[in-house]
Amino acid sequence: MSTPILQVRDLKVEYTTSAGAAQAVAGVSFDLAPGEFLAIVGESGCGKSTMLFSIAQLLTYPAETVGGSVLFDGEDLTTLSPEDLRQRRWRDISVVMQSAMNALNPTLSIGAQLADACRAHTDWDDKKIAARSAEVLSMVSIDVTHLKSFPFQLSGGMRQRAMIAMALLLEPKLIIMDEPTSALDVVAQRSLMRQVENLRRELGFAVLFVTHDMSVVSHFSDRLAVMYAGEFVELGATREVFDRPRHPYSVGLMDAFPSIVGEARELTGIAGNPPSLIDPPAGCLFAPRCQHATDECREFRPELVTTDGHAVSCHLVNPRRRS
């Protein structure tokens, strides 16, 4: 494997709450290769957005990154100054967050916002800026006349697409996206994802992508991470995780989605609720909901063990060695 563009190591994030510290990201580690598309799935509240914000160094109080490192192109983002981070944002790493449709500046036209980003990071003249702005808007199927429009004049879906255009503007090496197409209908979603995919092949940027849409995962991601209660419980090639999920939570999650290739199955869901993040149980965090849990599972926290490139954190898959 080539040198990773992103190396996340033992990343930990806590929220300060009146009841104590809630560990929303509990020691996540993974690598992302240049040009790779990693999808992250997991039920609501498992920490996906918090983790992406932490990686992008965009967390604000009451959330705080309390441990770990985020190496981007060999440089630890957690140690950079706000100014150094600003320089890298949009140019090296761009971020399209869950609330992307509200992330544009309401007081500036779309064209002015694209031009500001260009001026902050390049020495392009006005002609080049106008040409590039028109180019990225057309990539996301927005008519160039909207360069003059203000965000309130666009629909939610168009605002999301404008944010994606902004993310593509300076051809970064990494694009972080948190449900960037949630305001679009299925057809528009699919067509935008295809455009992003074509651009990724052409330009070679890596993508970190959170979604609830398993068909997007199956069509576009190289690898898939399954997140539960702030941890990655499984990480492997997308096809592998789809066809042979190993962690009982992944099995439940895959069963909960209608089959993409075969006939639609009934949605089953997974009974029970995730554990408290303030006072988590000692053993496996999924044990209270797991049909197969043993005393060992309730007592000892499993580690993510990688076998043939497929990582799983489950005692049933990786039996503990007894001393």
Ligand X SMILES: Nc1ncnc2c1ncn2[C@@H]1O[C@H](COP(=O)(O)OP(=O)(O)OP(=O)(O)O)[C@@H](O)[C@H]1O
**With respect to ligand X, which residue has the nearer C-beta, 48 or 161?**
48
Q: Among residues 3, 10, 20, 62, which is the contact residue for ligand X, using CB under 6 A?
A: 62
Closest by alpha carbon to 248, among 232, 267, 266, 233? 233
Question: What is the DSSP code string of 100-120?
Answer: GGG-S-TTS-HHHHHHHHHHH
Q: Among residues 30, 32, 37, 48, which is the contact residue for ligand X, using CB under 6 A?
A: 48
Place of tokens 């999650």: 253
Total residues contacting ligand X (rule CB under 6 A)?
Answer: 15
**With respect to Mg ion, which residue has the nearer C-beta, 26 or 114?**
26
Q: Does 37 bind ligand X (CB under 6 A)?
A: no
Q: Which residues contact 35 (CB under 8 A, 6 or more apart)?
A: 200, 204, 205, 206
Q: Among residues 49, 94, 250, 313, which is the contact residue for Mg ion, using CB under 5 A?
A: 49
How many C-beta atoms lie closer than 10 Å to residue 165's C-beta? 23
Closest by alpha carbon to 51, among 105, 20, 15, 89? 15
**With respect to ligand X, which residue has the nearer C-beta, 168 or 254?**
254
Q: Footprint of ligand X on residues 250-289 (CB under 6 A)? A: 277
For residue 26, the cross-strand partners are 12
The stretch near ligand X (CB under 6 A) out of 45-53, 146-154, 243-251, 305-313 is 45-53
**With respect to ligand X, which residue has the nearer C-beta, 35 or 288?**
288
- What are the start-end ranges of the E strands in 143-254? 174-178, 206-210, 223-228, 231-237
Q: Does 172 bind ligand X (CB under 6 A)?
A: no
Cα 14 off chain centre by = 18
Closest approach, Cβ 251 to ligand X, in A, equals: 20
Q: Does 46 bind ligand X (CB under 6 A)?
A: yes
Query: Where along the sequence are the contacts to Mg ion (CB under 5 A)?
Result: 49, 98
Query: Where along the sequence are the contacts to ligand X (CB under 6 A)?
Result: 15, 17, 22, 24, 42, 44-50, 62, 98, 277
